[in-house]
Amino acid sequence: MPASTLGRGELFFASRLQHTKVFDLSGRQVGTLQDLVVSIQREYPPVTSLIVKPPHHNQPKKIPWRQVLSFEESEIFLSCRLEQIEDHPETDQELWLIKEVLDKQIVDTEGRKLIRVQDIQLARVNGNIRVMAVDISTHAVLRRLGLDFLSRRLGSRMMPHFIDWSNVNLVSSKVPKVSLKVSLEKLGILHPADIADIMNELSPDQRAVVLQSLDHEVAADTIEEMAPSDQATALAEMESEKASDILEEMAPDNAADLLADLPQEKAQELLNLMEKEGAHEIRQLLTYPETSAGGIMTTEYMAIPATETATEAIESIRREEPEAESIYYLYVVDEENHLLGVFSLRDLIVAPPKAKVTSFMISNVVKVDVMTKQEEVARLIAKYNLLAIPVVDKGNHLLGIVTVDDAIDVVIPTAWKKRFPRIYS
């Protein structure tokens, strides 16, 4: 039920409810409304209590919704005396609308960007007051400043612009952990590139909060999409356990690049927490200079023993389920991992099932030494129109491959394309 379709007269704005007078059963004014507390667990969260500020610097009091007799923008009546209400401790599930949402920045998952909450719209539904939407329009700004007449002058461009609450994600690190987790679940459905764009506008602790909440795979993809300078800091701010889990999900070459940007002790700690095999590959990659073939290669490639037939090779591929970018070229190696030849996925599929892979492979492989300069690698890939190029050591042992997208990054650094800083962007 989108908020905007609800009837008039039933709607409230949080900003207008601020400072509404609150009366108790005897008709005595006991204070003014300071905040509205909602329960975050529900889809359109209902108001569960009111925070009432008594006059003369007394401590604000929390009043449960069942003690509220009537609720209007002009006045609120309680069904008891203020003194009868006991103190209720804060719980994890609750959210203070004015303190924690109004004027703060939130993520709009539909528009996929960070926006500022200019006002919050609530509606009376079956006797409950529920949060329906946030207003992000300039109209709301003018209304709150008491300058409504200006927006009428300016016409339709100044109309309210609501973001339905179901598309709202809280990102403030001050919001209680549990409510934040509920809210952030919606972020996970976005494309990692969109999440990364939003991340670039968040503060460091907000980034950490968001990354912690995403599942490992999405978090890994998101980090890979972030500006390189932010990747290492984002990881460094996280708990080491979680950070190492995310590293395991990343492509080894990206993980190695990232670790190279971290302080050595931190990198060591993360590597020690990782699974042995993945950590070993990354350690290996870290030993090559950043600008060499070894520095940009990945160790995720598909090697086929020279003794296999076409059918057996297809079986091997099925078993290994290689990543998309490394499936097009299959490298033939002997028992000591010497590179003997290469064939494409196409070659494999059109080959007779019983044929030995050595019979249709190309033995004159275009390859690079692990210390080759990255520009030279990119040049070779471009010259021979390759999707990937194998990287070998002096003894012709296959070490890894450089894929075409990593080679493009050499020529056009990703940082340039992605990162526009805030002031100058």
Partner 1 sequence: MALWRKLSRHRILFFLALIGPGIITASVDNDAGGIATYSIAGAHYGYALLWTLIPITVALIVIQEMAARMGAVTGKGLADLIRENFGIRATFYLMFALFLTNLGNTMAEFAGWAAAMEIFGVKRYVSLPVGAFLVWWLVVKGTYKAVEKIFLAASAIYFTYVISALLSRPSWGNVLSQILLPETHWDPPYLMILIGMVGTTIAPWMQFYLQSAVVEKGIKARHYRTSRWDVILGCLVTDLVALCIIVACAGTLFKHHIQIEDAKDAALALAPLAGKYASILFALGLANASLFAASILPLATAYYICEGMGWEGGVNKSFREAPQFFWIYTLLIVLGAGIIFFPQVPLIPIMYLSQVINGILLPFVLLFMLSLINNRELMGDHINSRGHNIVAWSISLALIFLTVLLVLSTLLS
The residues binding partner 1 (CB under 8 A) are: 103-105, 115-118, 136, 138, 141, 144-145, 174, 202-206, 229-230, 233, 416, 420-425
105 versus 240: smaller Cβ distance to partner 1? 105
What is the b/e burial string over 109-118, where b = at least 16 CB atoms within 10 angstroms of the residue's CB? Answer: beebebeebb
Q: At its nearest, how many Å lie between partner 1 and the CB of residue 412?
A: 14
Q: At its nearest, how many Å lie between partner 1 and the CB of residue 145?
A: 6
Spell out the residues 6+ positions from residue 344 whose beta carbon is closer than 8 angstroms to its own: 328, 329, 330
Q: At its nearest, how many Å lie between partner 1 and the CB of residue 208?
A: 10
Q: At its nearest, how many Å lie between partner 1 and the CB of residue 155?
A: 14
What is the b/e burial string over 131-140, where b = at least 16 CB atoms within 10 angstroms of the residue's CB? Answer: bbbbbbbbbb
118 versus 183: smaller Cβ distance to partner 1? 118
Full strand arrangement of the beta sheet holding 339-344: 303-305, 329-333, 339-344
266 versus 280: smaller Cβ distance to partner 1? 266
Q: At its nearest, how many Å lie between partner 1 and the CB of residue 138?
A: 7
101 versus 190: smaller Cβ distance to partner 1? 101
Q: Give the torsion sign (CA, 158, 10, 67, 55).
A: positive
Closest of 362, 406, 403, 366 to residue 383, by C-alpha: 366
* Burial (CB count <10 Å: 0-12, 13-18, 19+), residue 305: middle
Give the 3-state secondary structure of residue 1.
Answer: coil
> Which residue type, as a one-letter code, is found at position 390?
P
Q: At its nearest, how many Å lie between partner 1 and the CB of residue 223?
A: 15
11 versus 115: smaller Cβ distance to partner 1? 115
116 versus 152: smaller Cβ distance to partner 1? 116
51 versus 136: smaller Cβ distance to partner 1? 136
373 versus 419: smaller Cβ distance to partner 1? 419
Would you say 33 and 20 are in contact if contact means Cβ atoms under 8 Å apart?
Answer: yes
Q: At its nearest, how many Å lie between partner 1 and the CB of residue 105?
A: 8
Closest of 350, 354, 311, 359 to residue 332, by C-alpha: 359
232 versus 370: smaller Cβ distance to partner 1? 232
Q: At its nearest, how many Å lie between partner 1 and the CB of residue 80?
A: 31
Q: At its nearest, how many Å lie between partner 1 and the CB of residue 319?
A: 43
What DSSP character marks residue 7? Answer: P
- Tokens representing residue 229 in the block: 């300078």
Beta strands 388-392 and 168-170, pairing class: unpaired
189 versus 420: smaller Cβ distance to partner 1? 420
Residue whose tokens read 């020279």: 306
What is the b/e burial string over 186-199, where b = at least 16 CB atoms within 10 angstroms of the residue's CB? Answer: bbbebebebbbbbb
Q: At its nearest, how many Å lie between partner 1 and the CB of residue 225?
A: 17
Q: At its nearest, how many Å lie between partner 1 and the CB of residue 114?
A: 10
> Which residue type, as a one-letter code, is found at position 53?
K
To the nearest 5 percent, what fractions of the chain are helix, strand and coil?
A: 45, 25, 35
**Backbone phi, psi, residue 297, to 5°:** -80, 165
Give the span between the Cα atoms of 271 and 285, in whole angstroms: 12
Would you say 91 and 38 are in contact if contact means Cβ atoms under 8 Å apart?
Answer: no
2 versus 204: smaller Cβ distance to partner 1? 204
